Structure 1
Amino acid sequence: MKNLFPHLTLILIVLLSSCSNSDDINLAPIEDESISIVNAFPNLSFSRPLDLQSPNDDTNRIFVVEQRGTIKVFKNDTDVADATTFFDISGSVTSSDELGLLGLAFHPNFEENGFFYVCYTPSSSLSVVSRFKAMDNDPNMADPNSETLLLQIPQPYTNHNGGQLGFGPDGYLYIASGDGGSGGDPDGNAQNLENLLGAILRIDVDNTVNGLNYAIPGDNPFLNIENARPEIFAYGLRNPWRFSFDSQNGNLWSGDVGQGEKEEINIIEKRGNYGWNILEGTSCYNAQECDSAGTIAPVFEYGHGNNDRSVTGGYVYRGSLNPSLNGYYIYGDFISGRIWALDNVSGATPTNKLLFETNLPIASFGTDQDNELYICSFDGKIYKIVEQRLP
């Protein structure tokens, strides 16, 4: 069994991967000496931060998800001295290895309705997606008793839970679901349209149908298809660890953690089959049944050299503070701590360049209301990329 959180076989890896006691990572980037990584909030520390989100409500707040079942909120200010607890369901969360509070998304109209959505594991055999609400009289405090359960996804094993949530430009909620765990997808879940595993799901949270607390978008590809779950948007994924939408063109990018040889980056398309467990990246995984017809190859893949073993999907950079990175897909590897920039070029072979060798256990990336990019590390810190401007 491998890829525990998403490739965390021993928690000692996390402890040993903390590269520095200083606030900044004083490493020159590989390709460009004008950029560096700094501790974005040197007065703050977190417990296994694995998601960072902004509600885009013009309050310039940042919310950091901690695996144990809490969400911290604070002002987006380098000198901020304290982060308060916005949300705490740690008593209802099973948190170890790849289990825990795994994802957060704010409703597009959060400023008006206070709705936010989380994915968490109440037990080792179940993932749920639920809606909660912020307090009417305190936007920095959520009501833990406001839960509306949307989805329950049985988990046959404890790893590969996915858990990323995000609203697309279409206003629908997208959900990353892993293949159910173990190794090699022994139950064939990722190619089975009858369950919700190994897929990107898409639901309409603003409407309800058939007794559910959500509806199915009318153009979901498997709506009204026999023996298929209508929530599925795309499938054939192993453990889609972190996806994001390009804020400029709406493309949906996702990392997908590999089994033993390949890590991959995909642009997710409606009805797309990304090949697992027939393929691992572009290579045959199941030599007896290696028919790649109808599958979509990754935009980019990399092997397991240089201790690169577990991709952490990132974002296409659309901020203003790092103009040399504009349009690049920035992503990393949880085990090696390396960070790359991938050309966001449609229809062409992308160029991938190594930016940093940080040795950080990179659990996630996130953006603020200005689309500036942050890095969540299991050393308890939040980092950001800073570009030095020439005079």
Structure 2
Amino acid sequence: MTHSPPGRDGQQRRRNSSRRRFLQVTAATGAVASISGVSVAQDDEDNETDDSDASDSQADEVVTDGPTIGLELVGEGFTSPVGFEVAPDDEDRYFVVDQLGQIHVLEGASNGDGGPLQLRDEPFLDVSDRMVEVSGGTGEFDERGLLGLAFHPDFQENGRFFVRYSAPPSEDTPDDYDHTAVLSEFTTADDEHSTADPESEEILLEVPEPQFNHNAGAVVFGPDGYLYVPLGDGGDADDTGLGHVEDWYDENEGGNGQNTTDTLLGGIHRIDVDADGDGDRPYGIPDDNPFVDSDEGFDEYYAWGLRNPWRVSFDSEGNFYVADVGQNLFEEVNIVENGGNYGWNVKEGIECFSTEDPGEPGDECPSSTPEDVRGGEDLLDPVIQYPHIVDGETLGISITGGYVYEGEAASELQDMYVYGDWSRGFGSPDGSLFASPVQDYEPSADRSEDDLWDIQELSVSDAPNDRINRFVLAFGRDHDDELYVLTTARYTDGETGEVWRIVPEGEGETIEPHENAVGSEEEDEEEADTEDGEDDEIDDDAAGDDGMDNETDNESVDGAGNESGDVGNESVDDGADNESIDDGNASVGNESDE
């Protein structure tokens, strides 16, 4: 459906409105699952499927060599950059979302002809005073923070934009919950839209988050003019524990991903920010959302069955790519459609998932819900999947979603979906860059390994071992459809965050490992003076995060999400998971993993 948002002369009306919707979640009781993190060793047997045994020959074919690219440094001095956005009809400004709470502005020409981009002295917006203190100010791994930014399609006329961040618990937050996921609207302070008005905030959604991770965090306008808001499953491992409700699948405990009536966690939500809502809802609901005029789920739902969606994007054909951080075994990318159920926690990727033994694919599981659950919908499989471990070597632990390349500079990437993984390990920055040739897509609940898209690993020219040697937190896209990679060499402290433009081989920088990286010799010398055991505590706690997994989302160590970053990068996984930043219950949540 094509939707043209109506004009919005009533912006002041919206700004003056104090309405907000607090989606109270049903607090699940029970112990919180322990966070095992990415440091947990896994045997090759853990990655075997019940019918294929993941033979060596198959493992060799999981990822093949792809094109070689260059990377041009266009911005630095950030801490944990988890988002890169451009505003409509604003050709020479690039907005970088830093997990600690700032939206920074890079200024200059997008095609590189105008010299390096310049970082503006003052941020466009700073919401750090409304957020939780990311990692408690210690610089350790965290998936919370400022996680997403989207400009209204008519930004030049109305100055409206939308952000996702992690706020402290409120008086309405259930006991023992970690934070509140907030979706807010802001406007700019002047007609030139040079800076934001921090006093213009209107909170659209507040979602209680039981755990610090699996927050997702991206927000994006679709080609229909509606705002899409992914939420993670609430964090912790297995989609179980505090803040996780029951679902229809009795074989597994949990979980939020399959429950659409008691929680918004574990789904993607679509709202109309140009329409007035009913009652205390400060937004409208698109008429074709799947549960409109139904008692089978919240009106906001667009899709569900997701763990920690760390970074999402639309291509020019309107296909909606959602990278979902996995737990112990697999990372995945889905093409998401209206009303789709993407399987978590019944499945992890195309394999069955067991809460009793998450390190081994389940022997069997359903490929659809029962008829009495939303009519018996299919559990749709991803188009891309890769295991964490191949032939005893770690391939990745927390996926970071990207974009279909539709630019001109790096022609070798044309019509490929470009994405990455936060890192091969938690203790040092070792992210990967991947690309998959786009194929025709048909929804399927019975996809085999042969049906999955090919995965190619991109080589970085002029870099040691052809790798980026950073945590890969997120990707960005400019007005010319050229792509950017956002990285950091630490977690949530320092100024190692960088923004790189993807350019042809031989046209980028010489990239050495960052001198101030986590695990570097310099840092090791400093840590030698700390008390015995402190390092182990940090490793254990952080590894429990599956995700910042990238989100920070990926992912990221996104702290925000990427499971590694989902700031996730979104990326490291929590609790035995590899996710990126996740959020919480029945509300909107973030990108990292457990």
Instruction: Please say whether Structure 1 and Structure 2 have the same fold, judged by a TM-score greater than 0.5.
Output: yes
Alignment-derived partner of residue 299 in structure 1: 383
Could you tell me which residue of structure 2 aligns to residue 365 of structure 1? 475
Listed as ranges, the matches of 1:1-391 within 5 Å are 1=34, 30-33=65-68, 35-41=69-75, 44-77=76-109, 78-83=115-120, 84-94=122-132, 95-96=134-135, 97-123=142-168, 124-186=178-240, 187=244, 188-194=255-261, 195-211=263-279, 212-246=281-315, 248-286=316-354, 287=362, 290-293=365-368, 294-305=378-389, 306-336=394-424, 337-347=431-441, 349-356=452-459, 357-379=467-489, 380-388=497-505
- Inter-CA distance 245–3: structure 2 relative to 1 (3 Å threshold): farther
TM-score, with length taken from structure 2: 0.59
Give the distance between the partners of 2:295 and 2:417, measured in 1 at CA.
37
User: Quick one: distance in 2 between partners of 1:146 and 1:250?
Assistant: 32
Q: Where does structure 2 lack aligned partners over 5 or more consecutive residues?
A: 1-33, 41-63, 110-114, 136-141, 169-177, 245-254, 355-361, 369-377, 425-430, 442-450, 460-466, 490-496, 508-594
Q: What are the Cα deviations for residues 50-70 of structure 1, in whole angstroms up to 9, with x where unaligned?
A: 000000223321000011111
Instruction: Call closer, same or farther: CA 1:8–1:222 in 2, change over 3 Å.
Output: farther
Is this contact kept in 2: 1:2–1:259, CA < 8 A?
Answer: no
Give me the whole-angstrom Cα distance separating, in 1, the residues matched to 2:290 and 2:77.
Answer: 42
* Cα distance between partner residues in 2 of 1:340 and 1:265: 12
Aligned to 1:21: none
Whole-angstrom distance in 2 between the partners of 1:3 and 1:327:
38
Looking at structure 2, the residues matched to 352 and 364 of structure 1 have their Cα atoms a distance apart, in angstroms, of 18
Distance 1:134 1:145, change over 3 A: same
Letter in 1 for 2:418: I
Residues paired across the two proteins, number = 365
What is the rounded CA distance, in whole Å, between the counterparts of 2:434 and 2:395 in structure 1? Answer: 14
Indicate if the aligned counterparts of 2:81 and 2:487 stay in contact, CA closer than 8 A.
Answer: yes
| Aligned-partner SS, 2:412 | helix
Give CA-to-partner distance per residue, 1:211-246, whole Å, 9 cap, x none: 311010000011121141010100000000000000
- How much does 1:2 deviate? 5.0
RMSD value, Cα: 2.1
1:349 and 1:161, CA in 2 relative to 1: closer, same or farther beyond 3 A? closer
Larger RCO of the pair (alpha carbons < 8 Å, separation 6+): 2
Instruction: Report the 3-state secondary structure (helix = DSSP H, G, I; strand = E; otherwise coil) of the residue aligned with 1:190.
Output: helix
Letter of the 1:192 partner, please give it. N
Would you tell me which structure has more strand in proportion to its own residues?
Answer: 1
Say if 1:387 and 1:290 are closer, same or farther in 2 by CA, change over 3 A: same
**Moved beyond 6 Å, runs of 4+:** none
Q: Structure 2: which amino acid aligns with 1:291?
A: P
Would the alpha carbon gap of residues 92 and 76 (structure 1) be closer, same or farther in structure 2, given more than 3 Å must change? same
Structure 1 CA distance, aligned partners of 2:225 and 2:193?
Answer: 22
Q: Is the 8 A contact 2:216 2:231 kept in 1?
A: yes
Q: What CA distance in whole angstroms lies between the structure 2 residues aligned with 1:208 and 1:292? A: 38
Question: Structure 1 residues 341 and 288 mapped into 2: Cα distance closer, same or farther (>3 Å)?
Answer: closer
- Which of 379-388 and 233-242 deviates more? 379-388
Q: Percent identity?
A: 42
The separation in 2 between residues aligned to 1:152 and 1:229, in whole angstroms, is 15
Instruction: State which structure, 1 or 2, has the greater radius of gyration over its C-alpha atoms.
Output: 2
Residues 3 and 310 in structure 1, CA contact (< 8 A), matched pair in contact too:
no
Structure 1 unaligned regions, length at least 5: 10-28
Q: 1:50 and 1:8 mapped to 2: Cα distance?
A: 23
Secondary structure of the 1:241 match is strand
